[in-house]
Amino acid sequence: DIQMTQSPPSLSASLGDKVTITCQASQNINKYIAWYQQKPGKAPRLLIRYTSTLESGTPSRFSGSGSGRDYSFSISNVESEDIASYYCLQYDNLPRTFGGGTKLELK
Amino acid sequence: QVQLKESGPGLVQPSETLSLTCTVSGFSLTSYSVSWVRQPSGKGPEWMGRMWYDGDTAYNSALKSRLSISRDTSKNQVFLKMNSLQTDDTGTYYCTRDRGVFAYWGQGTLVTVSS
């Protein structure tokens, strides 16, 4: 199984900050990584697929990059509505595996 | 529009079997795969298994011995059965339309394993 090591587990930011979350896969995942946002009591919401492709409705302040084993996800100009948990997902191989998550909080 | 909805018991006794139903609309089960994903409270999601559009199945090896996924295409339903439940199986269970990524999710159903 591919392990996804996500960091940091938590992040404290001020409104307007830029924050970055990383995921490292245990092997090359050929850019097949997606990023999800999850708010309490809600299902995860797909924001980005295939490393950097924004879903319809995803604000442009969200971005993704990376290749091979190393990937990152950024939010520029954090807004209050971005306070949530974020997860990466590799979908190169079965079983699909998620990162452990990053909880974004307001400073 | 695409919709998925999970249903099933909220409380299951330890060692018993969990049975959940995912009812879908807005797409055909013979054109799209559906996966089950669960999430313990405060933890990350875990992919459990998939019903392929062609009727084949794939399971997470960690759960394979306890898990069964089936479907009824005439009713637009996908079923999950997992036996020998323990307290660490407590969490929210989701079904999701699976095209590699999971773009559409049900609202989730909370399953508590407790006597």
Mean pLDDT to the nearest integer, B1-22: 96
**Record: contact B43-A94, CB cut-off 8 A:** no
As a whole number of angstroms, the distance between CA A71 and CA B6 comes to: 32
Q: Which of A57, A73, A61 lies closest to A20, judged by CA?
A: A73
B58 shares contact with chain A (CB less than 8 Å): yes
Return the residue of B nearest to A55 by Cα: B103
A101 shares contact with chain B (CB less than 8 Å): yes
Whole-number percent of chain A with pLDDT over 90:
100
As a whole number of angstroms, the distance between CA A107 and CA A5 comes to: 24
- Across the interface, which of A44, A89, A95 has its CB nearest the CB of B105? A44
The SS3 of residue A71 is strand
Q: What is the mean pLDDT of chain B?
A: 97
pLDDT one-digit tens code per residue, A48-72: 999 999 999 999 999 999 999 999 9
As a whole number of angstroms, the distance between CA B100 and CA B108 comes to: 20
Q: What is the pLDDT of residue B76?
A: 98
Q: How many CB pairs under 8 A join A and B?
A: 46
Whole-number percent of chain B with pLDDT over 90:
98
Contacts of A87 in chain B (CB under 8 A): 44-45
Query: Can you list the positions of beta strands (E) in B40-108?
Result: 46-51, 57-59, 67-72, 77-82, 91-99, 101-105
pLDDT one-digit tens code per residue, B39-84: 999 899 999 999 999 999 999 999 999 999 999 999 999 999 999 9
Contacts of A1 in chain B (CB under 8 A): 61
B101 shares contact with chain A (CB less than 8 Å): yes
pLDDT one-digit tens code per residue, A19-37: 999 999 999 999 999 999 9
The DSSP letter of residue B65 is: T
**Tokens coding B108:** 């989730």
B42 shares contact with chain A (CB less than 8 Å): no
- Across the interface, which of B43, B47, B106 has its CB nearest the CB of A43? B106
Q: What is the pLDDT of residue B42?
A: 87
Within 13 Å, how many C-alpha atoms sit on residue B23's CB side? 4
Q: Is the pLDDT of residue A1 over 90?
A: yes
A49 shares contact with chain B (CB less than 8 Å): yes
The contacts found for B63-70 with CB under 8 angstroms, 24 or more apart, are: B69/B36
As a whole number of angstroms, the distance between CA B35 and CA B48 comes to: 7
As a whole number of angstroms, the distance between CA B115 and CA B100 comes to: 37
B52 shares contact with chain A (CB less than 8 Å): no
